[in-house]
Structures are given as C-alpha cells and as structure tokens.
A = this chain, B = another copy of it.
C-alpha cells in the first residue's frame, strides 16, 4: 500500500489509543508493535509521527495533565497570540480581578479545588502516573499548571520561596495519592496477616474491598490537614490584627 492518499495516522489518534491501552492493560502493555497493531498499521509507521517511544509517552502524559481544571486560578490565557489580555505584570489579586472582571478565589479554596481536579485527572489513569511524576519537563500543559499555581500563590501574598515549596508539596501529595490505591495494596487474603507477625493488621484483608472510600477519605483528610497547616503558616507570615 505504501503511502495512502489520506494519512492512516495522526498524533492525536495515536495518543488516544496509547492512553486507552495503558489504562486497560498497564504501562508494560504499551509496546510500539502492539500499539501499531491496535491502530491497524505496522510498527515502524509510528515513527513518522513521533521520534521515539518516549516522545509519544510525553504526549500521552500531557494530554492527561490537560484535563486538570485551572480555572480557579483566574482567567485562562489564550493559547494563541498571548499578551493582549495579559496580566503578566499583575502584582496582586486586585490586578487580576480588574483585568478579567472575574472573582478572585482565596488561595486555600483555589488550592483545594485544584488538588481535587488534579487528583481526579490522574486517578483516572493511574498506570501513567509514574511517568507524569517525573516533572513537567517541556510539556506545555504541565508548565501551564505549574505557572498557574505558583502565580496564584504569589499573588495571594505568599513569598516566592514558600510558593515554590507549596507547589512542590501539593504535587507530592497528589501524585502520591494517584500513583496507587493504598487500600488495594493490601492483599484480600486474610492468611497474609499472621497475628504473630502483624498484630494490628487483623482487619487489613478487608481494605481492598473498601478501596474507593478508604483512598478518597485519606485524600480528603490529608488535603484538609495540609490546608489547615498551611493556613497556620500563612497567618504567622502575615499576622492579622
């Protein structure tokens, strides 16, 4: 067949199919040959659209990050020619509000909403989290996310150094919670938990059955604890009369 008049593949079709394969069968199931079969082409065809498998994985990861809601951090900058509506010079909340006519969300609330959306996006595709957790790299959506969080915290009054740390620690917590289910990590087989070896794990075999609620509860508890702890720190920073 050689070259068809209308291309059989596109980057988007490849990315979507790769993500589905990773979701359904795990990261190890994604081989270039298997993916090509899934797309009804031969293996090397993929190299017309991605230079390496790593570049393909990068695109898959960024498509997942793109699902994270960032609207709580203020006006979304257009992907096209930026700068026109740019509030890049804004030094505080007042500036952002004035520029966009949008309500400015207090940082704890914004952080909470964002963390939930972030976790939801990642938890929908847990098998790819180890790749994504390696950092933003040069992926546009990941950089946009980092920019939005950092910018909002600084505009809210956090010193830049602290804002960096908060961005980091929030990512630690969210990626850690999305990487794997805590509950499902404990085998459902009761015989694993010999009372002589593990005196407190007598009920651990039930965890996997309550996977959803356990993990969700742990995430929410941790998120609230983090925000409470950060609020204490923020008050110490800028004491209110």
Give the interface of A toward B (CB within 8 A): 77, 81-83, 86-88, 130, 133-138, 140, 143-144, 146-147, 150-151, 154, 160-162, 164-169, 171-177, 179-187, 192-193, 195-201, 203-204, 207, 214-215, 217-219, 221-222, 224-230, 232-233
Is there an interface contact between A133 and B172, defined as CB atoms closer than 8 Å? no
Contacts of A144 in B (CB 8 A): 197-198
The distance from the CB of A186 to the nearest CB of chain B, in whole angstroms, is 6
**Additional 11 contacts, C-beta under 8 A, given A146-B204, A179-B179, A228-B228:** A133-B179, A147-B199, A150-B201, A165-B218, A165-B222, A166-B218, A168-B222, A171-B176, A174-B176, A175-B176, A225-B233
Is there an interface contact between B230 and A225, defined as CB atoms closer than 8 Å? yes
The secondary structure that dominates the A interface is helix
Is there an interface contact between A140 and B197, defined as CB atoms closer than 8 Å? yes
A143-B201, A229-B229 known; A214-B168 Cβ under 8 A: yes
Q: In the bound complex, how far is the Cα of B200 from the Cα of A86, in angstroms?
A: 12
Q: In the bound complex, how far is the Cα of B224 from the Cα of A147, in angstroms?
A: 25
Q: In the bound complex, how far is the Cα of B202 from the Cα of A132, in angstroms?
A: 22
Is there an interface contact between B181 and A135, defined as CB atoms closer than 8 Å? yes
Is there an interface contact between B134 and A172, defined as CB atoms closer than 8 Å? no
The distance from the CB of A200 to the nearest CB of chain B, in whole angstroms, is 4
Q: In the bound complex, how far is the Cα of B177 from the Cα of A151, in angstroms?
A: 22
A137-B187, A176-B171 known; A143-B198 Cβ under 8 A: yes
Interface centre among A88, A172, A225, by most chain B C-beta atoms within 10 angstroms, is: A172
Q: How many copies does the complex hold?
A: 2
Q: Which of B140, B150, B195 contacts A88 (CB 8 A)?
A: B195
A137-B185, A143-B192 known; A172-B166 Cβ under 8 A: no
Is there an interface contact between A88 and B199, defined as CB atoms closer than 8 Å? yes
Q: Which of B146, B166, B172 contacts A176 (CB 8 A)?
A: B172
Q: In the bound complex, how far is the Cα of B218 from the Cα of A204, in angstroms?
A: 31
**CB<8 Å pairs between A and B, sample of 9:** A81-B196, A135-B184, A137-B187, A147-B197, A147-B201, A160-B203, A169-B221, A172-B179, A226-B229
Contacts of A218 in B (CB 8 A): 164-166, 168-169, 172
Contacts of A195 in B (CB 8 A): 88
